[in-house]
Structure 1
Amino acid sequence: MKFKNRRNECVTTSDGREIWASRSVTVVVCIVLVCEDQPYILVNQRGTGVPDCQGLWNLPCGYLDYDETTTEAAMREVWEECGVNSLELLQGADCEFFSAPWDISSTPHDARQNVTIHHGLHAHVDRLPAVSNAHNEPNETADIRWLPLAQADTLEFAFNHRARIAKYLSHLERVAWIRY
């Protein structure tokens, strides 16, 4: 059989350890909250402290750390990038995809070799949770918003996240009969 894979690269550290460089695993989180019959989605704007796509908007996202589940990584990224406690939101969720992701993307691209695990939730709330960049890396996030879902097309998104939002909404409609 013939495969198109490339071998992972082995790097030897100065102390003799071998570390294998391979594809990275990322998590992306779609949180849709309905407040006063208006749906909102949690987004943040990439700051000057990130290596790429500065000024563009994205869903909370990031790399999976060692000894961490994708659920834990999703919750951590929402906390770090947006200051939102997703554990509290999960308690009142109408539909949640933290215990199991709603989508997995693994198609390699030239610029990114990520395997992406997509988590999310949908809930009705009396008020939108406060957001904060107090837990960010320096200048990681320039702005954080609960964006009215109807305005999602008004922002320029990094990493094809606008298409991710549309796919998540379609998924919610299929599995939970939630329609926007």
Structure 2
Amino acid sequence: MQFRNRPNECVTTTDGREIWVSRSVTVAVCILLVCEGRPYILVNQRGPGAPDCRGMWNLPCGYLDYDESTTEAAVREVWEECGVNALELLTHADCEFFSQPWDISSVPHDNRQNVTIHHGLHAQVNALPAVSNAHNEPGETSDIRWLPLEEVDSLEFAFRHRERITLYLQHLARSAGIHYPA
């Protein structure tokens, strides 16, 4: 059989440990809240301390840490990047994809070799939760918004997250009968 993969690389650290350089696992989270009949999606803008795509917008996302599940990583990333407690939102969710992700993307794109686990939730709320970048790494995000869904095309998204929002809306329609224009 013929494969087109590039083998992982093993490197030795200065203290003699062997570490395998391989593809990383990330989580991305679509949180869609309906407040006073209007749908909003949680997004943040990459700040001056971000390693790439500065100034572009994205869904809360990040790398899976050691000793954590993808669900735990999703909750942590939403908290770190946006200051929103996803566990509290889960208690109001009419549809949630934290216990099981709604999608797994493993096709390498551009300079990204990540395998991305997509979590999300949909809930009706009386008020949108406050957002904060107080838990960010320095300069990681420069702005955080509950973006009205009809304005999603007004922003430039990193990491193909605009495409991911459309796929999430399609998944909500198929799996829960919740319909929004993509």
TM-score band, normalised by shorter chain:
over 0.9
Mapping of residues 30-179 of structure 1, within 5 Å: 30-179=30-179
> By how many angstroms is 1:51 displaced?
0.9
Mapped to 1, the partners of 2:55 and 2:92 lie a distance apart of 32
| Distance (Å, rounded) in 2 between the aligned partners of 1:144 and 1:110 | 26
1:179 and 1:67 mapped to 2: Cα distance? 36
1: CA distance, partners of 2:19 / 2:154: 43
**1:4 is matched by which residue type in structure 2?**
R
Cα deviation, 1:89-124, whole Å, max 9, x if unaligned, reads 001100000000000000113411100000000000
Q: Distance in 2 between matches of 1:49 and 1:81?
A: 12
- List per-residue Cα deviations over 1:102-155 (Å, max 9, x = no partner): 000001134111000000000000000000000000000000000000000000
Q: Where do 4+ consecutive residues of structure 1 move more than 4 Å?
A: none
Q: How many angstroms apart in 2 are the aligned matches of 1:165 and 1:126?
A: 23
Tell me the residue number matched to 1:12: 12
The normalised TM-score by structure 1 is: 0.99
In structure 2, how many angstroms separate the alpha carbons of the residues matched to 1:109 and 1:35? 35
- C-alpha displacement at 1:167, in angstroms? 0.4
Query: 2:54 is aligned with what amino acid?
Result: Q
User: What is the RMSD of the two structures over their aligned residues, measured on CA atoms?
Assistant: 0.6
Structure-1 separation of matches of 2:70 and 2:97: 11
| SS of equivalent residue, structure 1 residue 143 | strand
| Displacement of 1:2 | 1.5
SS class of match (2:167): helix
